[in-house]
Structures are given as structure tokens and as C-alpha cells.
Amino acid sequence: MRAMHLSPDDALLMQIVDDLAERGWSQQNLFLPEALTRKLALECRKRAAEGELAPAGVGRGAAQEVREGIRGDHIQWLEPAQAESCDEYLAVMDALRQALNRGLFLGLEDFESHFALYPPGAFYRRHVDRFRDDDKRMVSAVIYLNDAWLPEHGGQLRMFPKGGDPFDVQPVGGCLAVFLSGDMPHEVLPATRERLSLTGWFRRRGSEPF
């Protein structure tokens, strides 16, 4: 199976850049091919079965704590050379990073991402992705890995754009949601079945002295 390769000037990536410039978010329902989506889902489930996914915390650094009343997902951060499917995904996202830099001059230096598994009934309360004391995260990107997902399963990503009405993104496999990290409050609604995704952030060099 040939790997997915995108150049930074690919029309699909250019559409995402245009969407972010115009409204601060983009939704691409068929971003990843089915084969890669399936491989990533298998990798996520494999890690979960091996106990590698841990309950996600709220906050950062020494102040981070697990608070299931706020978020209930289990995560594991990606590192290069762990799995072929993950490396293929990271290469695609690096092409998107380059496209965002060319089109929006964001100065994005890297991309961090983790698997996220929400057990049935788990949710994530409304929040924004940028920490108050750390402005590195500029653009959020969520890829969904769920096969045969139906609206009645729940688990929608609900976004609250400034000056607009809330809207939902269905967590259907292969769908990509991208939005400006500091400007888009959002929440994850509970689902009736296990919900899988890859959540990540394009980051610039922060204003912190270290």
C-alpha cells in the first residue's frame, strides 16, 4: 500500500489555509484515506490493550491533575519511529505545517500529537487549547479514527466560534477539524461507543524566556 504524501502546495492543504484565514477553522471530511485511518485506529487500540494510554490530565507541569468531571479521555503522545502509520500521519501534518507557514506566516516550528480514546460516556468540558501562561500552541488539529460512526452515537466536537452559532463536527473516520487554538472554545460530547482520535497542535516558538 503506497504511503500518503502531500506537498505543502497541495490543493487540499491550501483549502485549509484559506478557511483558517477566512473564519478561523476548517473541516475536511475526507482528509485521510481509509487505509491509513484504519491503521491508525488499530495502533490506538493496540496501545490501549497494552495499557499504554493513561488518563489525561488538566493543566500542565506540576499543576496537572486528572479530573474526570472535566475530561475523561485516555491518551498517549506520539514519538517518531514508533509505528509506520504514525510516521506517515506525522509527515502529512508536517506538510500542513509548511502550508500554514507559507499562507499565514505563523512561524510554526513543530507539531505535537497524541492518541485520544474516550470510553463510552466520557466527555471533555468546554475549553480552549492555549494555556494562559504559554502561547506556543497556534493551530489545533483533530483527526478522527472511528469506523461506521453515526450521529446517534454522539461524541461530537462542538465548537463555539466568536460571533457565530455553535456547530458540531461528527467524529467520522478520516475527518479533520482544524482551528485556531486560542480563539475557538470547544467541547467533546459524550458518546455511546468508544471514540478514537489523534489530537495535535502546531506550535511556534513561545514568548517564555526558556
Mean pLDDT of 136-155: 96
Ordered DSSP codes for 12-64: HHHHHHHHHHHHSEEEETT-S-HHHHHHHHHHHHHHHHTT--EEPPBSSGGG-
Which has the higher per-residue pLDDT, 8 or 63?
A: 8
Phi-psi region of 206 (alpha: psi -120 to 50; beta: other; left: phi over 0): beta
Tens of pLDDT, residues 83-129: 999 999 999 999 999 999 999 999 999 999 999 999 999 999 999 98
How many CB atoms lie under 10 A from the CB of residue 108?
22
Domains and CATH numbers, the chain: 11-54+69-204 (2.60.120.620)
- Asked whether the predicted pLDDT for residue 209 surpasses 50, the reply is no
Tens of pLDDT, residues 156-181: 999 999 888 999 999 999 999 999 99
